[in-house]
Structure 1
Amino acid sequence: MKILFAGKSKLDYNRVKVIKAGLEQLIDVEVIELKIKKGKSDNLKLLKQLDKEVDYIYIPPMRHADVSYIKKHTNKPIVFDPLISKYLTKADYGQFWKLPVKYFLDKIPFSKADILLADTNAHRDYFIKKFQLKTQKVHTLYIGADTKTFFKQKKESNANPNFIVGFYGSFIPLQGTDKIIETAYLLKDEKDLFFEIIGDGYTFKKAKQLAKKWNLTNIHFHGKVKYEKLSPLINSFDLCLGIFGNSKKADMVIPNKVYHYASIGKCILTKHTDGIKELFTDQKNIVLCDNSPKDMAEKIKNLKENPEQIKKVGLAAEKLLRIDYNEVEVAQRFLSILKQHKSAN
């Protein structure tokens, strides 16, 4: 099977990296990439040429605007992997006046795609209901992780002896980074407990302002780091934090970071959500908490005092990820979705 990965950007996004890493390890599958340059005649000519060679065209996350363009110039089935709803994202940011326009910026590409992917069953159900889509065209493909990129490493002999609570993210609202800062405030008197925060974004400035306001010395903000440096940094954490946002979107997703933490065998603390509970079980391979800094702080203290529980949960998370949601398993599920579509048509 030949699959064209085409989009103006996002061809190197984490979700795409996982699928491609898995497909590369399978036989009888060829992936071709094309960066779409609208208005460029030679690029359009290449797209039309490749259309004759491939079986499916995959459009990466957040490239809603590419679907109509590619659909217009190709005859092959289009697989769109939005990962987000523009409508739901703007609701997450509280920009409700933008929702009518964003609704159609979702509905049009979702409707034009021959196959629409969702990252959880909760997201799939939302897509189908909200945008009146045919049930059979929307499929769940869990994100998983590239286990060759995110893997367990031995701690160095001079490793930090303190208990490190780590988080990385893009500081979007669904991550609830303000709650992480407030949790650090509640734990400020724990002398050997520190927070390592990686990333920047929409709420980054607010997070730093809160830490400064409360004069917190138990937080280190790394800022944005390169993708390849994430795994070594996560390996230095004793406990990893997921998401704690209040939105509907936060309740439906399993974020990239949770898969990455699990691939490295880390114990993860995140809030109770329907999305998370599709794959993970509280106290078995993850630790779930109420969406409040008070409960977050209590769970962190309890885990700090129970290193065996941390080890047990982390190992179970690693086992789940590496057996069922590694890059090859994700790629095989991806191919089965395409084959299912082909047999139905």
Structure 2
Amino acid sequence: MRITLFHQYFLGKNDPGGSRWNEFTSFFSKKAGFITDVIAGNIHYATGKKILPNTWSNTEKVDEDITLYRTWTYSGYNSNFVGRVIGYLSYTFSSLLKALFLKKPDVYIVTSPSIFVGISAIIVSKLKRVPFIFEVRDLWPESAVATGVLNNKILLKILYWLEHRLYKYSKKIVVLTPAFKENIEKRYPEFIDKIEIITNGADFSIMGEEHKGSELRKKFAWGDKKVFTYLGAHGVANDLMQVVEAAKAFKEYDNIHFVLIGDGMQKKLLKQKASEYNLKNIEFIDSVPKHEVVDYVNASDVCMAILKKTDTFKTVYPNKVFDYMSCKKPVFVTIDGITRDLINEAKCGLYAEPENLEEFKKVVDKFLNMSDIELKAFGENGYKLVKEKFDREKLAERYIELIKEVSNA
């Protein structure tokens, strides 16, 4: 079985970021013997930096059954909204050209964001008469509207039209959360039978027992402080300024330290504000490779997942939450909806209303006053649930069966 995956942000070796598809393709090879051609962009989504020299196409053998092709992508991706759209479109057309010259697969898989890459999938699917699966990792254009990034009525009309065409021409629609499924069914009831849920999850082969958490605490001289850590993008949607403001509120406390790990458009502003406040209790660390995430999570006492207050974000499961739970760490979320429900179901952490700084500070204070026994109980509870329901190896097995079904249809 051969598949071709369109994924603009597929990670390279040791790249930081979301590794859902790096892990899935590896499982596909090991468990089912699938051969996978991955067509990816050449700009990292968090840093906006080139991954390889910006030639027309670069080829990398990930392993025996996985070949990664990086195609030309506009380098102004992280400059502003217009730059980002041009970045999306440049990848869309360069990936299409690459796909036309690759060996015909049994199934195409296209994963958003961005939704523009769906153009490539529709065209190459029709030309080569190969079915495709459309995976919705982000409800575009819904999320762009919710965060205020997109409000151009003409562009929105085009994007909603494209969204409908993708659902129409795909053989299956894979969504990452039950809320995504509900959203699509409500707006497009004619596609109910196509939708399958395959969530994010934890890769226990990476987020295992072995880690260097203690060594990191010594390296950064965190001592006995309670360390509150956030790992991920530093963008508009992440609203990390409230962490800086919370650090200011706890400025005189000597038993707390905030750590923000990652990159993004807002990082420079966040660092400037922390410097303006003369904060010594907040630390900024550049993005780390996935295999080192386990060390930083285990070096922490409480791990944070933060997003802006929008209805769209009530429908998401940030993958970092599963990483935190798999390392038996208490979770602090400011994400309402299904993520809040997940934390409550697992009894593995606390919730604060998004963009409510006073509530944010109260929750930090609650964690500060918890005993080690209480924090450990949160961690154990989270691990139990994520192991039972969100083990990425089991999720990969479900995907394998879906691909076989689509190829035989």
Output the TM-score relative to the length of structure 2: 0.74
CA 64–190 in structure 1, closer or farther in 2 if over 3 Å, else same: farther
CA shift for structure 1 position 270? 0.3
CA 41–193 in structure 1, closer or farther in 2 if over 3 Å, else same: closer
CA distance in 1, matches of 2:319, 2:334: 15
Contact 1:199/1:225 (CA < 8 Å) preserved in 2?
A: yes
- What value does the CA root-mean-square deviation take over the aligned residues? 2.7
> What residue ranges of structure 2 are gaps of 5+ in the alignment?
12-17, 40-68, 72-93
C-alpha distance after superposition, 1:35-63 (max 9, x if no partner): 37658988524333xx3xx3x32223324
CA shift for structure 1 position 83? 0.6
Tell me which of 383, 391, 397 is aligned to 1:326. Answer: 391
Partner of 1:193: 256
C-alpha distance after superposition, 1:298-331 (max 9, x if no partner): 2222222212221111111122222321221111
> What residue ranges of structure 1 are gaps of 5+ in the alignment?
none
Partner of 2:110: 59
C-alpha distance after superposition, 1:229-272 (max 9, x if no partner): 32222221110001231122221111121111112221111025
Tell me which of 156, 159, 163 is aligned to 2:214. Answer: 156
CA shift for structure 1 position 341? 5.7
| Highest RCO, 1 vs 2 (Cα 8 Å, sep ≥ 6) | 1
CA distance in 1, matches of 2:345, 2:245: 23
Q: Which shifted more, 38-47 or 126-135?
A: 38-47
CA distance in 2, matches of 1:128, 1:144: 23
CA 83–163 in structure 1, closer or farther in 2 if over 3 Å, else same: same
Partner of 2:192: 135
Contact 2:257/2:281 (CA < 8 Å) preserved in 1?
A: yes
CA distance in 1, matches of 2:159, 2:99: 28
CA shift for structure 1 position 150? 2.1
Contact 2:336/2:353 (CA < 8 Å) preserved in 1?
A: no
Where do 4+ consecutive residues of structure 1 move more than 6 Å? 39-42
Tell me which of 128, 140, 144 is aligned to 1:74. Answer: 128
Contact 2:234/2:240 (CA < 8 Å) preserved in 1?
A: yes
Partner of 1:297: 361
- Code of the residue aligned with 1:264 in structure 2: it is C
Tell me which of 149, 168, 171 is aligned to 1:114. Answer: 171
Partner of 1:226: 289
Alignment of 1:32 with 2:24, yes or no, is: no
Q: Which shifted more, 274-283 or 107-116?
A: 274-283
Q: For 2:214, what is the secondary structure of its paired residue? A: coil
Q: Which shifted more, 270-279 or 133-142?
A: 270-279
Partner of 1:88: 142
CA 163–104 in structure 1, closer or farther in 2 if over 3 Å, else same: same
CA 282–174 in structure 1, closer or farther in 2 if over 3 Å, else same: farther
Partner of 2:4: 5
CA distance in 2, matches of 1:175, 1:184: 16
CA 206–251 in structure 1, closer or farther in 2 if over 3 Å, else same: farther
CA shift for structure 1 position 222? 1.0
CA distance in 2, matches of 1:163, 1:40: 49
- Code of the residue aligned with 1:181 in structure 2: it is V
Q: How many residues in Structure 1 have an aligned counterpart in Structure 2?
A: 337
C-alpha distance after superposition, 1:75-102 (max 9, x if no partner): 3331121311331232134121243333
Partner of 1:217: 280
Alignment of 1:317 with 2:382, yes or no, is: yes
Q: Which shifted more, 175-184 or 35-44?
A: 35-44
CA distance in 2, matches of 1:189, 1:283: 33
Q: For 1:81, what is the secondary structure of its paired residue? A: strand
Alignment of 1:172 with 2:235, yes or no, is: yes
CA distance in 1, matches of 2:406, 2:101: 27
CA 285–326 in structure 1, closer or farther in 2 if over 3 Å, else same: same
Q: For 2:280, what is the secondary structure of its paired residue? A: coil
Contact 1:21/1:328 (CA < 8 Å) preserved in 2?
A: no
Q: For 2:257, what is the secondary structure of its paired residue? A: strand
CA shift for structure 1 position 140? 1.4
Structure-to-structure mapping, 1:216-255, within 5 angstroms: 216-255=279-318
CA shift for structure 1 position 33? 1.8
CA distance in 1, matches of 2:347, 2:144: 34
Contact 1:16/1:60 (CA < 8 Å) preserved in 2?
A: no
CA 320–202 in structure 1, closer or farther in 2 if over 3 Å, else same: same
Q: For 1:170, what is the secondary structure of its paired residue? A: coil
CA distance in 2, matches of 1:237, 1:166: 6
Q: For 1:196, what is the secondary structure of its paired residue? A: strand
CA distance in 1, matches of 2:38, 2:241: 39
